[in-house]
Each structure stands twice: as C-alpha cells, then as structure tokens.
C-alpha cells in the first residue's frame, strides 16, 4: 500500500505542476479547437465531393466523430516519452534516474500519470462532451465502462511502444529521427489520421496485424457501440490485453538487455 502512495505522490506532483503552467492550458484547448475545425471542414468537403453519403461504410458524421475522438486520444496519450528518455540519455541524467529506489520504467510511467490524467480531463472530456452535445451519436451506457478499461489498456500499450522506442536512444543520438519514425507509423497504422475503414485492402491487412490498432481503433470502436454485450467487446479487449502483455514483456526485456550492454561497454 505504501508503494501505491509513493506512486500517487508522483501523480499529484504532476497535476500541480501541470496547473502551474498558466496560459498553456488555454493555448492547448484553443489549439485543439482549431485543429478539429480543420478536420471538420476537410472531411465535409471530401464527403461533399462524393456521389454517395456513405463511403466505405462510414458517413460524414461517423468519420468526424471517429477522427475528433482519435485526436483527443492522441493529445492525452502523447507524453513525449521518447524525447524525455533521449534527452536524459544525452545529458547523462539517466544515471540519476537509474539509482532511484524504483524501476526506471515505472518511475517514468507514474510521473506521467499526473499530466496524462490532467490532459484527459482538459482535452478528452471536453471534446467528448462537445461531440455528444452536437451529435448525440455516442451511446451513453455500459459502453463507457468498457471504454475506460479499453483506454487504460491503450495507455499501457502506447507507453510500452514509447518506452521501447525510447530505449533505442541508448544506441543512437538521433532522437528526432527515431521519434518521427515511430510517430508517423503509429499515427497512420492506428487509424488516428484516417479511419482504418478507408484503407485499401493491402494496407488494411498490414494494419490489422500491427499493435497500433489497439491504441486508437480499439477504444474508439467500443465507445461507438450501442449497449454492447460482453461478447461484442471481448475480442477487442482480448486483443488489447494480448498486446499490452506482449509489449510489456518486450519493452522490459529490450530495456534490460540494452542496459546490460551499455553498462558492459561502460558508455
């Protein structure tokens, strides 16, 4: 229990720090509004140019809801872990972090929970409320509960991916290159920029075997389900759980091996 308190202290410190940044919050909300507006008009004109109102099984409305929420998820999930790790490696600060009385992976994760929760409250929740008020298209029922479970799994998967990519920074100084490769691949194959339904067959197949789908597409599909039965959501949650465990093990293993290599080389 005291271990939990230790972690929660990190969460609280993160929240306070987050609030301390006065204008930042306002800027962020404002920025999201602009960003979402652009998405709205872009897809509106795309659908307006189409002869049929339904394209690839999606209407303009459902596409928009999907993309808006995907953006909101992206905003609270992107914690710049790769940058942080890369910078810590370069400045040598990582040595200090490694001697802390907690596992580096957990330390980093829990110190991010404060900002993540704040971001969730300041970006996702308002976006969700606005979308719901405007469209009334998101069912408010048991799906919300499943969504919470699913989003927690998504955060874990996303963190594992980030941590794994961040570990590469132990080998190379090119943080920018490493991070951008991760980012563009995740954004494309998770369906965060274009719904997966629009993908041509070949690319859709590639996306379906990659774990990125479990970060955005999974929680979003659950959220948009109308009073789903457990058997409807179970396959998605199972897949997410599979990736969460798998990537957890992979990222921990990769980190340990890399660390050993680095300490052996005395770098």
- Interface residue list for other proteins (CB under 8 A): 12, 15-16, 19-25, 27-28, 31, 34-35, 37-38, 41-42, 44-46, 48-50, 55-56, 172-174, 176-181, 184-185, 187-188, 193-194, 198-200, 203
Q: Measured from the CB atom, is 13 or 129 closer to other proteins?
A: 13
Q: Measured from the CB atom, is 4 or 34 closer to other proteins?
A: 34
Q: Measured from the CB atom, is 103 or 176 closer to other proteins?
A: 176
Q: Measured from the CB atom, is 106 or 183 closer to other proteins?
A: 183
3-class SS letters over the chain: CHHHHHHHHHHHHHHHHHHHCHHHHHHHHHHHHHHHHHHHHHHHHHHHCCCCCCECCECHHHHHHHHHHHHHHHHHHCCCHHHHHHHHHHHCCHHHHHCCCCCHHHHHHHHHHHHHHHHHHHHHHHHHHHHHHHHCCCCCCHHHHHHHHHHHHHHHHHHHHHHHHHHHCCCCCCHHHHHHHHHHHHHHHCCCCCCHHHCCHHHHHHHHHCCCHHHHHHHHHHHCCCCCCHHHHHHHHHHHHHHHHHHHHHHHHHHHHHHHHHHHHCC
CB of 38 to other proteins, least distance (A): 5
CB of 207 to other proteins, least distance (A): 11
CB of 179 to other proteins, least distance (A): 8
Q: Measured from the CB atom, is 195 or 228 closer to other proteins?
A: 195
CB of 52 to other proteins, least distance (A): 10
CB of 243 to other proteins, least distance (A): 21
């Amino acid at each position: 229990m005291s271990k939990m308190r230790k972690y929660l202290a990190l969460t609280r410190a993160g929240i306070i720090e987050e609030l301390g940044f006065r204008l930042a919050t306002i800027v962020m909300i404002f920025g999201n509004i602009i960003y979402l507006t652009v998405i709205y008009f872009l897809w509106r004109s795309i659908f307006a140019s189409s002869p049929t109102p339904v394209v690839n099984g999606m209407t303009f409305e459902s596409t928009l809801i999907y993309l808006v929420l995907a953006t909101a998820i992206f905003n609270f999930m992107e914690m710049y872990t790769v940058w942080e790790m890369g910078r810590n490696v370069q400045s040598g600060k990582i040595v200090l972090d490694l001697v802390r009385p907690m596992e580096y992976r957990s330390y980093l994760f829990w110190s991010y929970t404060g900002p993540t929760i704040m971001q969730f409250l300041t970006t996702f929740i308002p976006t969700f409320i606005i979308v719901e008020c405007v469209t009334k298209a998101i069912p408010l029922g048991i799906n919300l509960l499943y969504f919470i479970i699913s989003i927690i799994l998504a955060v874990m998967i996303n963190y594992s991916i980030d941590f794994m990519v961040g570990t590469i920074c132990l080998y190379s100084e090119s943080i920018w290159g490493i991070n951008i490769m991760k980012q563009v691949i995740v954004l494309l194959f998770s369906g965060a920029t274009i719904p997966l339904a629009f993908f041509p067959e070949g690319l859709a197949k590639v996306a379906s075997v990659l774990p990125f789908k479990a970060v955005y597409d999974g929680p979003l599909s659950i959220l948009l389900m109308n009073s789903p039965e457990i058997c409807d959501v179970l396959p998605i949650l199972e897949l997410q759980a599979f990736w969460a465990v798998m990537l957890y093990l992979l990222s921990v293993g990769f980190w340990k091996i890399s660390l050993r290599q680095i300490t052996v080389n005395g770098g």
